[in-house]
Structure 1
């Protein structure tokens, strides 16, 4: 059983790389995958996210979302906040909340899920992520790393 799984969800289209950039920043900071921790980039997993939640105590998800706020704004959502998360436009057809909601109905959610979104500007194929998205990914990676260290030291 993996104790923690961290997934950066996205694609190679412009700012939609936000989740992937966060994963890159975590790995560059020295977080390592092992039996207790999985760190992975996912390309718009849809319902395929559900089996990745199995046998895990804590899942951290980072996703890009177009909303009404400024590009680079970071938000954290607990299960009670999921309805607010859906007010933005997911860049994925069957989105993260859809998969998590289905997993909840199937009784397959881990005991802890931290869902982060980074608001994005454009998600055009072939574009690089904007500077604000790259900075947000670095900032979020630092926050996630600090939370992991604090939580795992208490365990």
Structure 2
């Protein structure tokens, strides 16, 4: 039986404090022994790189900073269809995740994932040229990793 491919994609800029949480989580996940069918990759801060990264994968888990109305460090689990109802602005560097995923479905309808999960982390600090996560986001790292690992096994 063929195992289906799962991709964890960390988005953001590690040079902008909490915006780098996606890349930080990918670094932490690479230290773990992930199943063979799971790939952890950084998308960087170019949202269009997601178009290529999500192709030919059964399930995608996107990890990124969120700037919404919750307390810093709060972890959200969302599906793309929930983004429309969401009051929070969940964006990947001026392009909404929803827009990118809609674009992918139009451009590559036969190669988009069956399931996409977004693990968003409420940012406190998005200061450029600061390579350190804020305390609330740093404290949320174990919860973020747990949420990602739960998605891999579900």
- TM-score by length of structure 1 reads 0.83
Q: How many Å separate the matches in 1 of 2:125 and 2:92?
A: 10
Residues 126 and 99 of structure 1, relative CA distance in 2, 3 Å threshold: same
Partner in structure 2 of residue 62 of structure 1? 63
Matches within 5 A, 1:72-151: 72-85=73-86, 87-88=88-89, 90=91, 92-106=93-107, 107=109, 108-127=111-130, 128-148=132-152, 150-151=153-154
Partner in structure 2 of residue 5 of structure 1? 7
1:50 CA drift (Å)? 1.0
Structure 2 unpaired stretches of 5+: none
User: Which one has a larger percent helix, Structure 1 or Structure 2?
Assistant: 1
1:47 CA drift (Å)? 2.1
* 8 Å CA contact retained: 2:6, 2:57: yes
Q: Which runs of 4+ in 1 moved over 3 A?
A: 84-87
Q: How many residues align?
A: 148
Structure 1 unpaired stretches of 5+: none
Partner in structure 1 of residue 25 of structure 2? 22
User: What do you get for the CA RMSD once the two structures are aligned?
Assistant: 2.2
* 8 Å CA contact retained: 2:47, 2:92: no
Deviations 1:19-77 (A, max 9, x none): 12221222233326x5x222111212322211211111111101111111111111111
- TM-score by length of structure 2 reads 0.83
1:82 CA drift (Å)? 1.9
* 8 Å CA contact retained: 1:50, 1:103: yes
